[in-house]
Structure 1
Amino acid sequence: MAEHMDPEEFRRAGHAAVDWIADYWATLGQRPVGSSEPPGALAAALAGGPTAQGEPVEAVLADLDTLIAPRLTHWQHPGFFGYFPANTSGPSVLGDLISSGLGVQSMLWATSPAATELETVMLDWLADLLDLPQRFRSGGSGGGVIQDSASSATLVATLAALHRASAGRWRAAGLDRRYRAYTSTEGHSSIEKAARIAGLGGDGLRTIEVDPQTLAMSPDALRAAIRADLAAGDVPAIVVATIGTTSTTAVDPLPEIGAICAEYGVWLHVDAAYAGAAAVCPELRWSHAGLEYADSYCFDPHKWLLTGFDCDAFWVADSGELIEALTVLPEYLRNAASESGAVIDYRDWQVPLGRRFRALKLWFVLRWYGVEGLRAHVRAGVALADRFAARIRADDRFVLAAPHPFSLVCFRLAAGDEASAEVLSRVNATGRVLLTHTRVAGRFTLRLAVGSPLTTLEHVDEAWKLLSETAEKLPTVHE
């Protein structure tokens, strides 16, 4: 029977695991981006259950090579251009490794003081890095916390907004009136899910039309919707505006939206899950104009800022409202530090009680890359996307489908939806690249999102070559 792994055994096995990861990264470009195997292939290969006496790490790593890795979609691959980037980096992996080794619970300051204080400082560092409004910094009424994802941040913001809009009644007696949430038709699906979980019902979210050119929320349409709901006796609770929508990276006009929210007393949450990282570069901070109106804001370092999933940075202007909405204090969590009021207990800033030491990997990333290293990474992605977009503009077989202010390019074939879908299928089947799709103005649209630290000019050019050569083989009839 295998006994607990002692420190020396762990050291040996750990070296082997780190070597495996390093070899994986070194060979990623030689692997297909995705798996071509049918559903159930891995499950069938794993049939039988664990051995009675345990196995050495070498056996597990061997099966990782032969069973697991070939059946993955490789999100770190230099040819992965799908969805949004979800990139990690060496410093992030090391921080996560140490966090796992420490195995601490950071739900309260008292349960791991350094974990709480490092998280507070890291969110202030990030706020400085993005030049966020002063109201989001710690030391005053606001502050930041790490959530697992922007979806959770939206849910937490929605709960805090309901607490404010109902004067706390939703906690004691449920929702006494119809409360409304608002986002654009381009808003993320998690906004609707948050509204449902928060008890607003299937029709609790109002989707607001967008400008047909920019695909950004229409302030006039938002104002009209709020006025209509007020006239019907409903309570506007929260508006979720987006910096960098999922389909096309559209940027909602925060100055106008924020002024409307201030006029009607509606909570404004800004979801910048992907594009928030762009604000590390001063020349891209135009996207955050109007953020001073926001009651809460989030972005995902685990998308475009080289920090492994899960790590969403979430700030509020008034942490007191958030704590009032979410706190529940059983006797077994009472302690002198919490009751002194001198510490932050992050359990009150999220839905779950328990929380990992996620700030450690963020600390590693920020210290390794520094400000200029992070800016260089973002700028490289924007430049590569610009180069690809220029190729699209110069070829009359293709059409740019939306503006591309960051590192996502949306495009389609002039020949029509069927041709666009066929090119996507054929290009992805090569295993050299992976792109995804959306619909823009009802049209089937391809998305190429640059973000991997392994992606170079050569990889973007290869994607263009595959697309161009594949399009050449299709009928040339244009719509």
Structure 2
Amino acid sequence: MSPEEFRQHGHAAIDWIADYWASLEELPVRSPAQPGDVRRALPPTAPDAGEPFDALLDDLDAIVVPGLTHWQHPRFFAYFPANSSPVAILGDLLSSGIGAQGMLWATSPALTEVEQVVLDWLVRALDLPETFLSDGPGGGVIQDTASTATFTALVAALHRASGGEARITGVSAGEWRVYGSSQAHSSLVKAAIMAGLGEEAVRLVGVDPHTQSMDVDALRDVVAQDVAAGLRPLMVHACAGSTSTGAMDDIVALGEVAREHGAWLHVDAAWAGVAAVCPEHRQHLAGVELADSFVTNPHKWLLTTFDCSTLWVRDRTPLVGALSILPEYLRNRASDSDEVVDYRDWHPQLGRRFRALKLWAVLRTYGLDGLRAHIRDGVELASYAADLVRADDRFELLTEPVLSLVVFRLRAGDEATMAAMEAVNDSGVAYLSHTTVEGRMAMRIAVGGWRTSRSDVERTWRALQEAAEP
């Protein structure tokens, strides 16, 4: 493909995306495809002769789009938003076009240093501790997802707690304990499995039935029992916006428990952390200065195309110590000088994309004022949705709304709740997800899409009311 052909087809691809966005209102939010539909529509082998690029675009329309659940649809309210705003897409396109590999500072100095600057911008924008800045003892790194960030933090915690022995000799079965609430993301258990600690190393602590936040007294009791049994507290995982209900743990109290026992404090704010761009939404991060690591995902609510998860550490020494391996073929003068950061030492993988470019594009183009407006709009729309729930006696809130998340159910019970939600999802009008709260089924409306408006909330609510009719 020549540069001119690339220009032509690139315009066609951008046009396709713009037309796709324009058509979203008319498409069912959740794909109606049945298992195997897409596979059967595709040939079993790749073509021997190359095909025109236009043929691929045609098949996107005919085969792929009917098999998509449309995460950019304005009435996608399931899970959490995964925004792919126009400017973020352009930033990602530029990153792909540049095609740099940033495993070392030397392999692309700009990739590393733009990432450091952009993450420093976010530290200040979110009012995070100055120890997270790149010129301090800690620093930040862009991971693919919060799951990888949690695993990375756990490996660093193990390195610090073992004095480096775990990296050399591995872990002793049953020696370590990791603590999180029963609302903690499943990636915590997966991280323990991958780190060689095993599922049994994770102690899931009960929560307050009203707030769903971790019961700090219960945590103290569990840790005390483990210490008495000769076990070693390794990490305390704090939720700042749990996936299920948006629960906010008491970071200050959990930090005190962690420090008392020399454990690592990891704050998981994957969804809710970015809300701190608004000063009025920073209270849920109170105590973050006690954190050894902190993660939040701009690819959820901050208009940045997936994948872009930002992780900061208070002290980079155990992180780099746990993950640094330097074969001869990676040695270079810049790394040997100790004057640069090599991000290959900050996560499990060696290779890394220029993810900072799309985040840089978002921060510069929207500006902090634009990002604050987006966050505030999501909170306002969720508040409106909660008011609609309160105004209909057939429904009830199971927790108070948290930022842009509303968790509710039909008073008629679990079966009626799930039937109403599935009816709306099957209709294609909207897409909601579910959870359980104290053993009761509940629906979740997670607002935050860049195209979502008040009318989308209203249309979804009308569909729910119709589905709830006896």
Q: TM-score, normalised by structure 2?
A: 0.99
Quick one: which amino acid aligns to residue 346 of structure 1?
A: Y
Cα deviations across residues 73-113 of structure 1 (Å, max 9, x unaligned)? 00000110001111110111001101111111000000000
- In the TM superposition, residue 49 of structure 1 has moved relative to its aligned partner by 2.2
Question: What is the identity percentage for the equivalent residue pairs of Structure 1 and Structure 2?
Answer: 56
1:477 alignment partner in structure 2: none
Residues of 2 paired with 1:281 and 1:230: CA distance? 40
1:19 alignment partner in structure 2: 15
Kept in 1: contact 2:381–2:404 (CA 8 A)? yes
Kept in 1: contact 2:120–2:133 (CA 8 A)? yes
Residues of 2 paired with 1:265 and 1:37: CA distance? 51
Q: Please give the residue correspondences for 1:151-190 in structure 2 after superposition, counting only pairs within 5 Å.
A: 151-176=147-172, 178-190=175-187
2:462 alignment partner in structure 1: 465
Cα deviations across residues 57-81 of structure 1 (Å, max 9, x unaligned)? 1111011111101110000001100
| 1:276 pairs with 2:273 | yes
- In the TM superposition, residue 326 of structure 1 has moved relative to its aligned partner by 0.7
| 1:447 pairs with 2:444 | yes
Kept in 1: contact 2:151–2:195 (CA 8 A)? yes
Residues of 1 paired with 2:45 and 2:13: CA distance? 23
Cα deviations across residues 324-375 of structure 1 (Å, max 9, x unaligned)? 0111111100000001000000000000000000000001100110000000
The alignment partner of 1:194 has SS state of helix
Match of 1:123 among 103, 108, 119: 119
- In the TM superposition, residue 125 of structure 1 has moved relative to its aligned partner by 0.6
1:341 alignment partner in structure 2: 338
- In the TM superposition, residue 37 of structure 1 has moved relative to its aligned partner by 2.1
Quick one: which amino acid aligns to residue 22 of structure 1?
A: A
1:97 alignment partner in structure 2: 93
2:238 alignment partner in structure 1: 241
| 1:61 pairs with 2:57 | yes
The alignment partner of 1:146 has SS state of strand
Match of 1:410 among 403, 407, 411: 407
- In the TM superposition, residue 202 of structure 1 has moved relative to its aligned partner by 2.0
The alignment partner of 1:203 has SS state of helix
What runs of 5+ residues in structure 2 fail to find an aligned partner? none
Q: Please give the residue correspondences for 1:32-431 in structure 2 after superposition, counting only pairs within 5 Å.
A: 32-176=28-172, 178-431=175-428
- In the TM superposition, residue 320 of structure 1 has moved relative to its aligned partner by 1.2
Residues of 1 paired with 2:430 and 2:393: CA distance? 23
Quick one: which amino acid aligns to residue 121 of structure 1?
A: V
Quick one: which amino acid aligns to residue 384 of structure 1?
A: L
Residues of 1 paired with 2:221 and 2:317: CA distance? 31
- In the TM superposition, residue 425 of structure 1 has moved relative to its aligned partner by 1.1
The alignment partner of 1:262 has SS state of helix
Residues of 2 paired with 1:434 and 1:197: CA distance? 33
Kept in 1: contact 2:112–2:341 (CA 8 A)? yes
Kept in 2: contact 1:248–1:403 (CA 8 A)? no
- In the TM superposition, residue 201 of structure 1 has moved relative to its aligned partner by 1.3
- In the TM superposition, residue 452 of structure 1 has moved relative to its aligned partner by 0.8
- In the TM superposition, residue 225 of structure 1 has moved relative to its aligned partner by 1.2
Residues of 1 paired with 2:315 and 2:117: CA distance? 17
Match of 1:433 among 430, 435, 438: 430
Residues of 2 paired with 1:405 and 1:225: CA distance? 28
Kept in 2: contact 1:254–1:290 (CA 8 A)? yes
Residues of 2 paired with 1:326 and 1:354: CA distance? 14
Quick one: which amino acid aligns to residue 81 of structure 1?
A: F
Kept in 2: contact 1:184–1:217 (CA 8 A)? yes
Quick one: which amino acid aligns to residue 38 of structure 1?
A: Q
List structure 1 runs of 4+ shifted beyond 3 angstroms. none
Kept in 1: contact 2:130–2:136 (CA 8 A)? no
Cα deviations across residues 399-431 of structure 1 (Å, max 9, x unaligned)? 101121210100000000010011011111110
- In the TM superposition, residue 432 of structure 1 has moved relative to its aligned partner by 1.0
The alignment partner of 2:178 has SS state of strand
- In the TM superposition, residue 321 of structure 1 has moved relative to its aligned partner by 1.2
Residues of 1 paired with 2:177 and 2:290: CA distance? 19
Residues of 1 paired with 2:22 and 2:5: CA distance? 26
Residues of 1 paired with 2:399 and 2:428: CA distance? 26
The alignment partner of 2:18 has SS state of helix
Residues of 2 paired with 1:211 and 1:136: CA distance? 31
- The number of residue pairs the alignment matches comes to 469
Residues of 1 paired with 2:330 and 2:380: CA distance? 50
Quick one: which amino acid aligns to residue 206 of structure 2?
A: E
Quick one: which amino acid aligns to residue 219 of structure 2?
A: L
1:7 alignment partner in structure 2: 3
Residues of 2 paired with 1:339 and 1:182: CA distance? 38
Quick one: which amino acid aligns to residue 2 of structure 2?
A: D
- In the TM superposition, residue 136 of structure 1 has moved relative to its aligned partner by 0.8
The alignment partner of 2:199 has SS state of coil
What runs of 5+ residues in structure 1 fail to find an aligned partner? 475-479
With 156-165 and 46-55 compared, the bigger mean Cα shift is at 46-55
